[in-house]
Amino acid sequence: MHMSEKITIGIHSASWTEHSRRVLQGLLNYIEEFPNIQVRDFRFSSNDPNLVGNPPWAGKVDGAIVSAGRNPGITTWLKRGKVPVVMASGDLIDSGFVSVYTDVHSVGRLAAAHLTEAGFEHIAFIGYQKSDGSKRRRDGLSDELTKRGIKLKSLALKEIPVDSVEEESDISESTVEKIQQLLEKSPRPLAVVTLNDVLAEFVAKVATEMGLSIPDEIGVLGVGDSERARMADPPLSSVHTPGVEIGYRCASLLHSMILGNTPKETVFEIPAEQVSARRSTTGWKRAAVTDIDRAVNYIREHACDGIRLKDVSSAVRIPIRTLEIEFKKQIGRSMGEVIREVRLERVKQLLESTNLSTQRIAAMVGYSHYSYLNKLLRDELNVTPSQYRKQQRRAKSELE
């Protein structure tokens, strides 16, 4: 296939979940660079695929990005589509399919650091028996906690609640009892890390119904940093997973495969980079309580939205001059410097992990013109964006 010929990529995932929407966003970011690529969305419900017929994209696309678990017969079903497939998940990494997923050790490192800093010395993991990704995430967390002298307790459930557009699945009493037993028998305060945010919300509900205080007796940390985590009561701390970066890498790999290239590897892990801390692990007592804490949090969350100092001032309801003086006194740097730091880290990550243009990256970090981005890198790193990208890729290839 020629580089300029029209290419159709299918995406097959639970499109109502936040992770799938992020993966789709990464795919859309990628195709902005390639006008000859179009996307078709083949959504599935919890009853599909039935794995009897052909995949819904068969005969309609040149390749597909798929999020799917290890269902019996899944690999045979995927091959019946007769086009290259890249998995945007980690449950089929030993099946020969190219897979892109969140690096398990990065999740373990972030979770271990966050929970130990919050004061938890007893930590458990609750996952899913049928998920290889769950087992690897448990092992990654266990390795990181071992370095800190903490032994991980773990519980693998036969069933877990699912994020579905249909009615919530009923969870059996025996599953609830297993969670209750873990919470009852473990020393407190206990932090529970779960496979995902849906399970975290369920564990928090069980703990609350047992009369346990969150987070003073039980801390809960999810994975995914989804809307459900933010809407839960209490709001759930969660490891933010790199769905956009996963989608972009899936698209890049699939595009190359459609053009006839075979990847040197089949497993690609993208690191998670932060924990979104909320009340399920930090609580009211340890949450940000000062105006300066709130200003710093606001900057971290919105620096790439193109905010100005007056926006920070409005958010914390303090006159801008008063805020500037107090901020510099407590943090040691000005608000403008902290905004630049947050933007710089995001720029570096995008230059390292994507092929997005300078103009596109500038817009994604809140700059109205790419010249501001060029100036940022010249001032801070003494390089142009293209020089930084080349340096990082050269360094990475030397390590491989």
Supply the pLDDT for residue 399: 62
Residue 377's pLDDT is 92
Residue 358 φ/ψ, nearest 5 degrees: -60, -40
Q: What does pLDDT average to in each consecutive run of 10 residues of the chain (400 residues)?
A: 78 85 92 91 62 85 89 86 92 87 93 92 94 90 94 94 65 93 94 96 96 94 92 92 94 95 92 91 60 87 91 90 88 91 90 88 90 91 91 74
Closest residue by Cα to residue 51 from 69, 25, 28: 69
Complete domains list, the chain, with CATH:
7-102+243-270 (3.40.50.2300), 103-241 (3.40.50.2300), 291-398 (1.10.10.60)
Tokens of 109: 């490192």
Alpha carbons 340 and 376: distance in angstroms, whole number: 8
Nearest to 392 by CA among 339, 354, 335: 354
d(CA 128, CA 52) in angstroms, rounded, equals: 25
pLDDT score of 222: 97
The helix or strand, by DSSP H or E, that contains position 218, with its residue range, turns out to be strand 218-223
pLDDT given at position 1: 56
Q: What is the Rg, in whole angstroms, of the alpha carbon atoms belonging to the chain?
A: 23
What span, in angstroms and rounded, lies between the C-alpha atoms of 55 and 244? Answer: 24
pLDDT, residue 224, reads 93
**Helices 385-399, 335-353: crossing angle, 10 deg rounding:** 50
Give the model's pLDDT for residue 236: 95
